[in-house]
Amino acid sequence: MDLARSDLLPLDCVRGGGCCHAQRIPVTPWEIAILARALDLSPAVCRDRHTRAGGTCLAADAAGDCRLLGAAGCTVHAARPLACRLFPLGRRLDEGRPIYHMPGAGHRCSGLCPEALSRPPRQVAAWLGEQGVTPGESAHDAYGRLVCGLLAEVCHLGGVSVLGEIGVLADLPAGERAATLPRPWFELLTAPDLSGQLDDPSAFVLAHAERLLGAVEAGFAGDRSRAAVILATVAMQLGEPLGIDAQAAVAYLGRTASGEHRATA
Ligand code: SF4
Ligand code: SF4
């Protein structure tokens, strides 16, 4: 169900922590860096301790609870990822415009914190403002643009010649796909040292993009196919927390390549 900003949510958050259990909480590299600052850790150590699936979502303990959940609630409340701020809402872009929606059937809070539904309803716009979603949304949208840019660069590098290899990588779970990256690439992807840009998510992602594209130029003298595979893998990993399906990225590469073939035929 799509929601307008003026719509009412039939709840108010009671901070019962219901959404901190058995949920997949996606994180971008900017969100890992923000958590790292809050926890006074390096981004790499924060990634290793608090994320899984190749640094694309938060880790959980054996009971399925987010490891950042404490006895008194979220231990990183001011630095929590966008998904935590949006819950119970989902968000997607439609031609660049954000659309908020309620995923699944029924109200997502009802089974987790039933008392939330007995509180006065909240307007969607007020909810989003109080949750402080803007920086996380800026980072997500900037990473979305970066994924598109990286896929265009993969085409430029002749990615069509290795489309089969990229397709195999797309079929892997994110953690296994990340493990195919050479270690320096994994570090650059998930834990870039950009602490000076943390408070400006767009600048952070732009600087991250420059590092990634600079590494391609510096690291693959003449081996365009290898560069295309690495960049496609990076793009798929960055797309994972944004909900960009890896196979959709491969389909995009295939369509772009066939369009180029037609244009040059
Ligand atoms: S499940 Fe709903 S009411 Fe409970 S903490 Fe999460 S957002 Fe708040
Ligand atoms: S980061 Fe905080 S709000 Fe988000 S799931 Fe973990 S404990 Fe809950």
Q: Give φ, ψ of 40 to 5 degrees.
A: 60, 45
In total, how many domains does the chain have?
Answer: 2
Question: From ligand 2's centre to the CA of 27, what distance in Å?
Answer: 11
* Domain-embedded: residue 115: yes
Last residue of a domain, one of 105, 133, 161: 133
Residues 128 and 160 in one domain: no
Residues 88 and 203 in one domain: no
Which ligand 2 atom lies nearest to the CA of residue 35? Answer: 1
Q: What residue numbers bound the domain in which 248 lies?
A: 136-264
CA distance 189 to 47: 11
Question: From ligand 1's centre to the CA of 3, what distance in Å?
Answer: 18
Residues 47 and 69 in one domain: yes
Contact in structure between 130 and 17 (CB atoms under 8 Å): no
Residues 149 and 260 in one domain: yes
Determine the residue of 21, 49, 50, 66 to mutate for testing ligand 2's pocket, defined as the one with the most ligand atoms within 8 A of the Cβ atom: 66
Last residue of a domain, one of 77, 111, 133: 133
Q: Which tokens sit at 225?
A: 């196919």
The tens digit of pLDDT for each residue in 79-109 reads 999 999 999 999 998 888 899 998 776 678 8
* Domain-embedded: residue 2: no
Could you tell me the CA-to-CA distances from 38 to 30, 48, 190, 203, 226 in Å, in that order?
Answer: 13, 15, 17, 19, 37
Question: From ligand 1's centre to the CA of 116, what distance in Å?
Answer: 7
Residues 187 and 259 in one domain: yes
The tens digit of pLDDT for each residue in 166-221 reads 999 999 999 999 999 999 999 999 999 998 999 999 999 999 999 999 998 887 77
CA distance 53 to 73: 24
Which ligand 2 atom lies nearest to the CA of residue 23? Answer: 5
CA distance 238 to 31: 12
Predicted model pTM: 0.93
